[in-house]
Amino acid sequence: MRELSAAPRRPSAEGQRRGRAGSHQPAARRACPAIGQHVPDRALTSPQLDGLALLSVSTYRIGFVTAQLFFSAWLFPLGWLVLRSGFLPRVLGWLLLLDGVAVLVWFLQVLLAPAHPAISYPAWAIGFIAELGLGLWLLVRGVRPEVQAPDGRVEAGRE
């Protein structure tokens, strides 16, 4: 979008007859097509825009890390239910409980010691093994076709 020149225009003949100046906008304003209004050209300086961008990224980062607290809180009941169910291997339950602790360690590392990411590397490995193991087990072994037993009962198929 081209900027308007700072030099004032001379009123048009039509504008002179009606007693008003030409229909130009001041140099410090431009059209904003999103809202159909005119917005100041230099509302924020370049350092202010940089600071605003950094604030947005920092806020997103803190929000993402904070969301991990809720994910960690979910891993504890999930691990406990896997342990108690008998449907899934018990080792997955223990791994999920350990993953809940690992996510808490990762949260505290990011919040309290952001310059030392190596603290949470073991947590990532535990989380990867636990969550991938659960997903693969459910994908491969979790769905068993129902078969009818000789006495007429319907039960999950055995391999």
User: What crossing angle do the helices spanning 46-85 and 90-112 adopt, rounded to 10°?
Assistant: 160
The gap between the terminal CA atoms of the chain, to the nearest Å, is: 69
Is the pLDDT score of 28 beyond 50? no
- What is the predicted pLDDT for the residue at 10? 55
Under the banding of pLDDT at 50, 70 and 90, the label for residue 157 is: low
The two most distant CA atoms of the chain are separated, in Å, by 103
Whether 143 shows a pLDDT value over 80: the answer reads: no
Q: Please report, for the chain, how many H helices and E strands are present, in that order.
A: 4, 4
Residue 101's pLDDT band (cuts 50, 70, 90)? very high
Task: Select the more confidently predicted residue: 123 or 8.
Answer: 123
